[in-house]
A and B are shown apart, each in its own frame.
Chain A
Amino acid sequence: MVRPSDLSFLYQYILGGIVFFAGLVCIVKSRALDHKSNSGRRWLLISLGVLLFYLLLQGLFQFVLSKL
């Protein structure tokens, strides 16, 4: 069953994700980050890792631990 707070999770990650990815596209298109270099690719991965970290951390509490 979907709880109201589950919708909050979706709301934050959809809208926050739009801001995050719009930012990422903006910096890659403006060449603020050179995604063709090794260092640029590493930083891109780190950025996605940060997003994934929060997604998993909050997802863990929202969908797993809250049901224990």
Chain B
Amino acid sequence: MGTNLDFAILIFYFVGILAFGTFFQKYTKTTKDFFLAGQRFSWWLIAFSCVATLVGSYSFVKYSTAAYNNGISSTMSYLNDWPWFALLLFGWLPILYFSRVRSIPEYLERRFDRRTRIAATVIILIYMVGYIGINFFTLGVALRPILNWPVMHIVIVIAVIAAVYVTAGGQTAVIMTDLAQGVILILAGLVVFFLGIKALGGFSAFWSHLPQSHKVAFAQPVKPASFNSIGVFWQDGMANSAAFWFMNQGIILRLLSARSVKDGRKALVAVFLVMMPLATLCVCGAGWIGRALVNAGLLPTNVDPKNIFVAVTHLLAGPGLFGLILAALSAALMSTADTLINATSVVFVNDIWRPLVKPNRPDRYYLKVARISSVAAALTGVILVPVYMGFKGIYQAHAAFTAAITPPMVVTIMLGAFWKRYTPQGAFWTLTGGFAAMLVSMAVPVIIVPFSHGMEAGGSYLQAHTYMRALYGLMVSAAIGVSVSLLAKRRKVSPTLLCGDEKRKMREFKGAPINEKPGARLRLILKGSSVESESPVAFVSSDTLRALAANPGDLIYVSDTRWWTGGLRSFHARVALGETEPGTVEVPDSVMKGAGMIHGQTVLVEKEM
């Protein structure tokens, strides 16, 4: 399968991603750069890079199969995240950003106690490292027919590529490569869809070749047990979507790398209104086209739904284009793997090494540990692949583990962020008791029946009530959390860690009163100075200070004048009055070089708060 041209495109893609990702090493000088990319990116860059995270490792295969079998209703899983929109934008995002937490376990310790953090760290690390291995394994299996190499050889090559650029460039490399991979994904998805429409003779012909039952946006409420709308709503819309937006370490780091909360919000608006529908079209399109092609007699009726993505692309795409589509498939897997590798190193350094093993070391020491742990995470993923190769039910086991941890984690985070009365005891027992309740439901599925809406079990043990187990888990975890908290003594909680007054959060973040007076956005000449300070300080003249409507100590954002750099060349600093020429801004050389800027260049300067 595939020609030499397809092979060449695939190789070009891997070499290109490696070179592109490694290029960003020069922007990574601190752990803040490595984990949060210096919190400097524009909203559009974050939004685009989120596409690669939205399209998970096996999304193309999974959703094109669902689209082939069920039609337009296969979009339910992607289009049911909106209930969380307001809580995410105005509740959770400001908590994360202004409290300066870097991981979920860190939030849990600050909000509750250390044992809750440790419980969450163990759960998250097992999940993420296991998932890295699954990504490598899936990519190895997917590329074997093209490359004709043994799976392990492919896995090692991929792991080396991902580990090299993540270790070098950290979160910046992840965001920038995911931006490129997002473009490839969308391009490939749209190409397959529009080639299919063309092959069928236009949109009307495509639509008329779909069965009537495949044209509705929703599946039937409770039948069949394998695909129904109430099940998808609870498992995907409530549990998994909340988990994706509120506890997925990759998404959290992506949002925290925005230059401000406002840019994080704008990125999310773009994701919800543009990227999600586009991603849905990309991952489902081949399945819809496949069904129409079968009905039009252009594909055999006995085509395996699980292979519909490859069957459709092979039929429609000529040499070269098929290579691009395979590159997109690889991009979906690589982007998930790189996000997980970076996120694993964040959790390891932030929640194990720094607080428990070697506290109070210089930042450069933790940066070194972060780089080593990225390599270790990739290596562990590779080591797991032979284990997975001998274990037929690996995907089911991983799905079962994810299903078991998701509801208790989601409930813990939600109650923690939005219910002041929630106590450390409540949180710990939600996590452990909820997890135990989920395991019990896998051994004794009959206890899910009261939540099943009359749905059939659809299997036994792990396979029984797979959808409605989420509702059971959410309800049981919430019941444990609420009842234990109400029985425990109240505890004072920092308002920064709860949904609430944003101005107060900003004040605490800044460490001084916030300045909301509207000021100008100025073009100034950047000057480097050898004077170093603990936190970045930018000296400007009194005229500049007045034009910015800023007071000494206010936070400003200095960026390259070219919008398309997306904040890659930018930094935050505290503004100070200095004896500098009007029209200039003077910053320490290290800050200037860290942001990839040069002495004498024109920059945009604006007040943040």
Contact = CB atoms under 8 A, between A and B. Distances in A.
A27 B233 contact: no
Interface string A19-47: 11001101100111110000000010011
A51 B85 CA distance: 9
A7 B221 contact: yes
A32 to B, nearest CB: 5
A4 B217 CA distance: 12
Contacts of A34: 502-503
A6 B216 CA distance: 9
B85 A20 contact: yes
B79 A26 contact: no
Contacts of A24: 86
A32 B89 CA distance: 10
Given A31-B500, A32-B499, A8 B219 contact: yes
A47 B277 contact: no
Contacts of B237: 12, 16
Nearest to A54: B82
Contact of B502 (A6, A12, A33, A61): A33
Contacts of A57: 79, 277
Nearest to B419: A26
A15 interface: yes
A6 B221 CA distance: 9
Contact of A58 (B84, B89, B207, B218): B218
A7 B229 CA distance: 10
A60 B277 CA distance: 14
Interface stretch (B16-24, B265-273, B572-580): B265-273
Interface string B72-83: 110010011011
B220 interface: yes
Given A15-B233, A32-B91, A66-B212, A47 B86 contact: yes
Interface size class of A (residues with CB under 8 A): 35 or more
B87 interface: yes
B90 A58 contact: no
A11 B499 contact: no
A59 to B, nearest CB: 8
Interface in B51-109: 72-73, 76, 79-80, 82-87, 89-91, 94
**Interface on chain A toward B: helix, strand, loop, or mixed SS?**
helix
A1 interface: no
B266 to A, nearest CB: 9
Nearest to B220: A4
B89 A66 contact: no
A27 B80 CA distance: 21
A50 B91 contact: no
Give the most central of A3, A26, A51: most B CB within 10 Å: A26
Contacts of A12: 76, 80, 218, 229, 233, 237
B501 interface: yes
A60 to B, nearest CB: 8
A49 B91 CA distance: 18
A31 B87 contact: no
Contact of B217 (A27, A31, A62): A62
B593 interface: no
B293 interface: no
Contacts of B84: 19, 23
Contacts of B314: none
A65 B90 CA distance: 35
Interface of B: 72-73, 76, 79-80, 82-87, 89-91, 94, 207, 212, 215-221, 228-230, 233, 237-238, 265, 269, 272-273, 277, 418, 498-503
In the A-B complex, list the 5 residue pairs whose CB atoms are closest, starting with the nearest.
A8-B229, A8-B218, A61-B217, A23-B87, A19-B83
Interface of A: 3-9, 11-12, 15-17, 19-20, 23-24, 26-27, 30-34, 43, 46-47, 50-51, 53-54, 57-59, 61-62, 65-66, 68
26 contacts: A3-B216, A7-B221, A8-B230, A9-B217, A9-B218, A12-B233, A17-B83, A19-B84, A23-B91, A30-B91, A31-B500, A31-B502, A32-B91, A32-B501, A33-B502, A34-B502, A46-B269, A47-B86, A50-B82, A50-B272, A51-B82, A58-B79, A61-B72, A62-B216, A62-B217, A66-B217
Given A16-B82, A19-B84, A54-B82, 5 more contacts: A8-B218, A16-B80, A19-B83, A20-B83, A61-B217
